[in-house]
Structure 1
């Protein structure tokens, strides 16, 4: 039997079978035949890249056992997708933890409505999808009252087509972690074509001892089979009064380990709130998002604010020294409507309660780092201007 030949026609090469006819579909060949033909082609340059890749893929696919795929391939993989830009990665578990009374369930409802309607979440783009809210804390009547108030605050009406059949609720009869609970969730996800799950809350819904790793790991394994999930949870007593960046979820440390993004929520006496991303497996994981909430009888509103806003003043103590300098630049720019000098920042910090005084040389170092991170841009002399927000309200992000 003769070896396969390579025929070049212009810029396109084809691999011929032993009888001289081109092989149109490599999948019709046996593994042995593919191996023989590849070994006979000593000069890969005689083949088109497309043909080589096609043969190689078929060869590799047949040689691997079921359930195993090549980790590296010719084609560049798609980039990571986010349900909420930079905060909630698609297809993974995100934790939202906070002390009692900080409004984390209201915030989760606001996020659910943003995803269902396609509206930005506190200035960040979202992927629109169908949401299932799993409630282990309250009941249907209370959640209906809450969602009406939050929807009203967003300008969404009762018959808004943007929400129709896109936000669903369930109060499970079985504890989280049991087979009955898991089977029901998978059934709802399949029947309702759910894209995003809100679990409220992880600790209250769990069966067994949530502080025990052996009880939590099966729960984490079940959640991995769900769509993108935001799990609300309570903060541990030992960190309840600490800064947002240091707060940790109650119970097993494996809660944090299982999450691919971990968000903490803190409330200031001055009326503002901060969402701190204290962990991310996919980027630097240091995002901070400030907002203010207004609670009225018929509406609850969420307003994205800047860290320089007076309502966020009490949250400055949780910032790094460099972060305080950035806040000063933004606040002073609003006052000056022009470039901010290092000396201006020093004076601003000296006059503000809760801010540590620093030397002008330290501020210059801060500004250098902030230029490198694109948080500020250079102006005349040593002056700087605040840069545009890193994430825009773009649902296609």
Structure 2
């Protein structure tokens, strides 16, 4: 197998007579490299009868030895493409397309031939009349040929005639006394005669003159007559007329009932491919709707061309195609509930407690900057280590991470960074396989079988695909196309018994008023197909809350730093003081040396910087197998998500879920806060720069800003960090500085 293709099957599309000697040798070397036998090479080489020498393949086979640059199956694939073969690409069937799905009805190993019997009585005109009555309406023009010419020992038909209708021909044949020649013109008994099976417009006999694409011709002269007869009947083809050609083939006139030439091509392609898969090699030159077939009721070189049967097999193309598709559809039979009521099957074990079972599908949806890829990396690590993910316990097992977006180095470093940020020891790295496909990804309908093949023996309990926009096939707003796309995930789950987890982005624009399951971009199929949907939405955190988080981080940094230096420092500070960054900083300044305090300040600056980069998120779930869980609030602290253990995010409404009047009020508050911040900054700049380093007066500040002295005093008061006495503006002392002054 190469890229999901069967090399032996592809070899059928290569004509050895069109290859030079070295190319022929390369085919043998490629077959050996791919694990095939000399017999496979020999069987294929026989097709070039002019150059084939018995035993040559086997003699050369032993001379093929491994090299640093071996000839592989890819060589055979490319040769087939050069000769016109095209792999399946998931589009509608065209004239030269092939069908790769198995639709085998006939077991070629057990097929029994069915004898071709001549009619007991020979009535040529009755034969032809029945043929015309079966295939044509009375008013439709019929094309036929009785004149022929010889070339290289073969008799070839002329263009023939097309000026009479089926009704006219039937009437004249009924009165000719058995002399077909008197109606159609004499034919050469050694050549026989021909007839066209689709009606014409009376102006010619080309494809463009066809008025109804009603029938197609199926003919095979490379299979024994008896087997041809058996296969055609076992295939239940909707055959209108089955004619013996008088030589080594049967001509089946098959109903295709196409509405246009384009549909005719697709149906004929499908028909021929089904025949081929079931052991009937078709003459590919018979595709055209204006093609000639053998006329029943005439002689050909001492043998009768006769009508064997009419209207056999399925009644219509639609009925036949539906039957073919259902013969081996691999669908299970219906199950009677009573038979399993007391013996229920075991439920699949949980992969993520209360969220997802093994073998099921989960979608993570969210806007950009939500860290969805990091969230999936965290989940991958949690499963590999058997740890908790966002508070949910995870089963421990092997997981594959399909990376479609990052280059390999960045992806590997991300895993290391996430491990470090989580603070987990990488004890089970063997449980994580990463398939890096950036720049090599293919549409999901082609990726799925490749993934299944690689994962078949790995016992993965989860496969994470990140992100899916790289492999989407079709229009993401089309329900039917996205249903077909999502079916590929079902195939992976079913074939491997593994969970499939993937992420998708929110649609553009405001998400207000939408339910969590309706925020994902594209068709609603995305949200309704998975067994679990986790949706992220950003929380609109106020400046006051962020200031509170910064204060908490300062306190936490001080406490951790003190713990590293002292054992009994907590006896000096009350519980309330430990929650006040002012008190903690004042205590640290007294407790620590100048160098230690400087180090602490650097740690505090880094911690505050990290807090400023935090974003807040809420996860809501839509679950098929479990009850709805309470929303989970998170901080995205790059590169990991941390659950909000303090509960400060619990009462915050996402901006998208607020009523319009609330969003308007928040905007006004936000603008007011921004204006206040701008005023504070302006005051600071004015005080620093208005008097060349000397203590400025209120008047100096007012002149610098171009405002009145009264407004300047109001802004200085609002700032809170300055005071003015006797017209002079000075910076307020901090609490620590004030305490030192009192001492």
TM-score normalised per structure 1: 0.56
Q: Which residue of 1 aligns with 2:652?
A: 314
Q: 2:624 aligns with which of 281, 288, 292?
A: 281
User: How far off is 1:142 after superposition?
Assistant: 1.9
Q: Choose 142-151 or 97-106, whichever is displaced more.
A: 142-151
Tell me how far apart the structure 2 counterparts of residues 134 and 155 of structure 1 sit (CA, whole Å). 24
Q: Which residue of 2 aligns with 1:82?
A: 350
Residues 200-349 of structure 1 mapped to structure 2, 5 A cutoff: 200-226=466-492, 227-238=498-509, 240=511, 245=516, 247-270=518-541, 271-277=615-621, 279-295=622-638, 300-306=639-645, 309-311=647-649, 314-315=652-653
User: How far off is 1:132 after superposition?
Assistant: 1.2
Q: Say whether the 8 Å CA contact 1:132–1:167 is kept in structure 2.
A: yes
Q: Which residue of 2 aligns with 1:186?
A: 452
Residues 95 and 66 of structure 1: CA distance in aligned 2, closer, same or farther (over 3 Å): closer
Q: 1:107 aligns with which of 348, 370, 375?
A: 375
Residues 243 and 153 of structure 1: CA distance in aligned 2, closer, same or farther (over 3 Å): farther
Tell me how far apart the structure 2 counterparts of residues 169 and 245 of structure 1 sit (CA, whole Å). 31
Q: What's the secondary structure of 1:164's corresponding residue? A: helix
Tell me how far apart the structure 1 counterparts of residues 380 and 513 of structure 2 sit (CA, whole Å). 28
Q: Say whether the 8 Å CA contact 1:130–1:196 is kept in structure 2.
A: yes
User: How far off is 1:249 after superposition?
Assistant: 1.3
Tell me how far apart the structure 2 counterparts of residues 67 and 313 of structure 1 sit (CA, whole Å). 51
Q: Per-residue displacement from partner, 1:71-120 (whole Å, max 9, x unpaired)?
A: 43322443453211122232211111001111111111101100011011
User: How far off is 1:242 after superposition?
Assistant: 5.9
Tell me how far apart the structure 2 counterparts of residues 195 and 120 of structure 1 sit (CA, whole Å). 16
Q: Say whether the 8 Å CA contact 2:448–2:491 is kept in structure 1.
A: no
User: How far off is 1:68 after superposition?
Assistant: 4.5
Residues 138 and 166 of structure 1: CA distance in aligned 2, closer, same or farther (over 3 Å): closer
Q: Work out which structure has the larger RCO, using CA pairs closer than 8 Å and 6 or more positions apart in sequence.
A: 1
Q: Which residue of 1 aligns with 2:403?
A: 135
Q: 1:176 aligns with which of 422, 425, 443?
A: 443
Q: Say whether the 8 Å CA contact 1:292–1:302 is kept in structure 2.
A: yes
User: How far off is 1:318 after superposition?
Assistant: 7.5
Q: What's the secondary structure of 2:534's corresponding residue? A: strand
Q: Per-residue displacement from partner, 1:156-211 (whole Å, max 9, x unpaired)?
A: 34xx33222434233162433333x1121102221332210111122232122222
Q: Say whether the 8 Å CA contact 2:513–2:657 is kept in structure 1.
A: no
User: How far off is 1:239 after superposition?
Assistant: 5.1
Q: Say whether the 8 Å CA contact 1:153–1:302 is kept in structure 2.
A: no
Q: Count how many residue pairs are aligned between Structure 1 and Structure 2.
A: 250
Tell me how far apart the structure 1 counterparts of residues 642 and 332 of structure 2 sit (CA, whole Å). 50
User: How far off is 1:212 after superposition?
Assistant: 1.8
Q: Say whether the 8 Å CA contact 1:92–1:228 is kept in structure 2.
A: yes
Tell me how far apart the structure 2 counterparts of residues 264 and 164 of structure 1 sit (CA, whole Å). 30
Residues 206 and 161 of structure 1: CA distance in aligned 2, closer, same or farther (over 3 Å): same
User: How far off is 1:234 after superposition?
Assistant: 0.6
Tell me how far apart the structure 2 counterparts of residues 244 and 135 of structure 1 sit (CA, whole Å). 29
Residues 246 and 195 of structure 1: CA distance in aligned 2, closer, same or farther (over 3 Å): closer
Q: Say whether the 8 Å CA contact 1:89–1:261 is kept in structure 2.
A: no
User: How far off is 1:311 after superposition?
Assistant: 4.6
User: How far off is 1:310 after superposition?
Assistant: 2.3
Tell me how far apart the structure 2 counterparts of residues 66 and 275 of structure 1 sit (CA, whole Å). 37
Q: Choose 97-106 or 213-222, whichever is displaced more.
A: 213-222
Residues 146 and 155 of structure 1: CA distance in aligned 2, closer, same or farther (over 3 Å): same
Tell me how far apart the structure 1 counterparts of residues 371 and 620 of structure 2 sit (CA, whole Å). 15
Residues 255 and 239 of structure 1: CA distance in aligned 2, closer, same or farther (over 3 Å): farther
Is 2:409 aligned against 1:145?
no
Is 2:359 aligned against 1:91?
yes
Tell me how far apart the structure 2 counterparts of residues 251 and 95 of structure 1 sit (CA, whole Å). 14
Instruction: In structure 1, list runs of 5 or more residues that go unmatched.
Output: 1-64, 321-352, 354-397
Tell me how far apart the structure 1 counterparts of residues 399 and 419 of structure 2 sit (CA, whole Å). 15
Q: What's the secondary structure of 2:377's corresponding residue? A: helix
Instruction: In structure 2, list runs of 5 or more residues that go unmatched.
Output: 1-330, 493-497, 542-614, 659-668, 670-743
User: How far off is 1:257 after superposition?
Assistant: 2.0
Q: Per-residue displacement from partner, 1:262-306 (whole Å, max 9, x unpaired)?
A: 1101222433221110x22223334421222322xxxx3432224
Is 2:464 aligned against 1:121?
no
Tell me how far apart the structure 2 counterparts of residues 293 and 216 of structure 1 sit (CA, whole Å). 31
Tell me how far apart the structure 2 counterparts of residues 276 and 115 of structure 1 sit (CA, whole Å). 21
Q: What's the secondary structure of 1:211's corresponding residue? A: coil
Q: 2:464 aligns with which of 186, 198, 209?
A: 198
Q: What's the secondary structure of 1:191's corresponding residue? A: coil
Residues 139 and 313 of structure 1: CA distance in aligned 2, closer, same or farther (over 3 Å): farther
Is 2:429 aligned against 1:163?
yes
